[in-house]
Amino acid sequence: MNKLLKTAAILLAAAAIGTGCGTRSSPTTPTPTPTPSPSSTSPAPSASPSVTPTATATPSPTPAKTPAGTKTGDAIQVVAAPESITALVNKQFKLPDSYAPKDLVYPEVAFIFSEKIEKRKLRQEAATALEQLFAGAKKDNISLAGVSAYRSHATQKSLFESYVKRDGEAKAKTYSAVPGHSEHETGLAIDVSGSSGKCAAEDCFAGTPEAKWLEAHVHEYGFIIRYPKGKESITGYQYEPWHIRFVGKQVAKDIASRGITMEEYYNALPVSQ
């Protein structure tokens, strides 16, 4: 009997050594979950990737979705396609800080100054259209001259700061753009006057034969009066009958025929002064 009890004790001790510590035995290998192979129930990839369209005959503004900063509580967005001739640039939509047009040229038209300097330049397509516009005006016995076209970011910064120093920031913002928000930086906008230079970029230009001709005909050449009368609360700028912006013929004719601004054309929120 004692021998049987001793034998049982030995067997129980051996069992404890073999199963009592998980580190001493090999871990149980879990049964892997099979990875499903592609089947007809899996969504098929698109035949061709989605591509962000560039501006065409009927463009839409392409500002970035992420605000670049804030000004007076309004989100400022960076224009995603600054090279587009229909890019919307205003108090809410700014050009990238590093943007500079790559196809600036000197249009073969008269200016109120003779020097070949920065503000005489326009982008190639806009320059060609401006030459045609000036030629068309001449046929109607209207002599035009350029006042100011392209401005670099640095030039706009210097100009805006001088206006702020003279008139204060609030007043300056009604007629001049904060750097990065100026259409002149696109190389697609130009201030125009009569060949005499009288009332160049001044309120007295309104009502002149040159101003009336521009309002009636610029859309025929792909330009618009960018800051029309009565739309100050939408554009954020005072009436400027001398400031024309190239957007291409189709868009220009649409905007002109409807008597709207670029902001309204794109259904953008009105900007505040």
Tell me the pLDDT tens digit for each residue of 203-221: 999 999 999 999 999 999 9
What is the token pair recorded at 39?
């089947």
CA distance 215 to 222: 12
Containing 132, the helix (H) or strand (E) segment is: helix 124-139
229: Cα within 13 Å, side-chain hemisphere: 9
Q: Which of 219, 202, 189, 228 is nearest to 89 (CA)?
A: 189
What letter would DSSP give residue 24?
A: G
120: Cα within 13 Å, side-chain hemisphere: 13
Q: pLDDT averaged over the chain? A: 80
Residue 238 has pLDDT above 80, yes or no: yes
Work out the average pLDDT over 219-233: 97
Work out the average pLDDT over 228-256: 97
Least confidently predicted of 104-118, 147-161, 168-182, 258-272: 258-272
List all residues 6 or more positions away from 50 whose beta carbon is below 8 Å from its beta carbon.
Answer: none
Residue spans per domain, the chain: 63-97+104-265
Work out the average pLDDT over 101-120: 97
pLDDT of residue 268: 86
Work out the average pLDDT over 30-40: 38
List all residues 6 or more positions away from 48 whose beta carbon is below 8 Å from its beta carbon.
Answer: none
What is the token pair recorded at 98?
């590093």
- Among residues of the chain, what percentage have pLDDT more than 70? 71
Residue 193 has pLDDT above 80, yes or no: yes
pLDDT of residue 226: 98
Residue 270 — pLDDT band, cuts 50, 70, 90? low
Q: Is 58 helix (H, G, I), strand (E, B) or coil?
A: coil
Second CATH level (architecture) for the domain 63-97+104-265: 2-Layer Sandwich (3.30)
Q: How many CB atoms lie within 10 A of CB 16?
A: 9
Least confidently predicted of 155-169, 217-231, 257-271: 257-271
Tell me the pLDDT tens digit for each residue of 147-186: 999 999 999 999 999 999 999 999 999 999 999 999 999 9
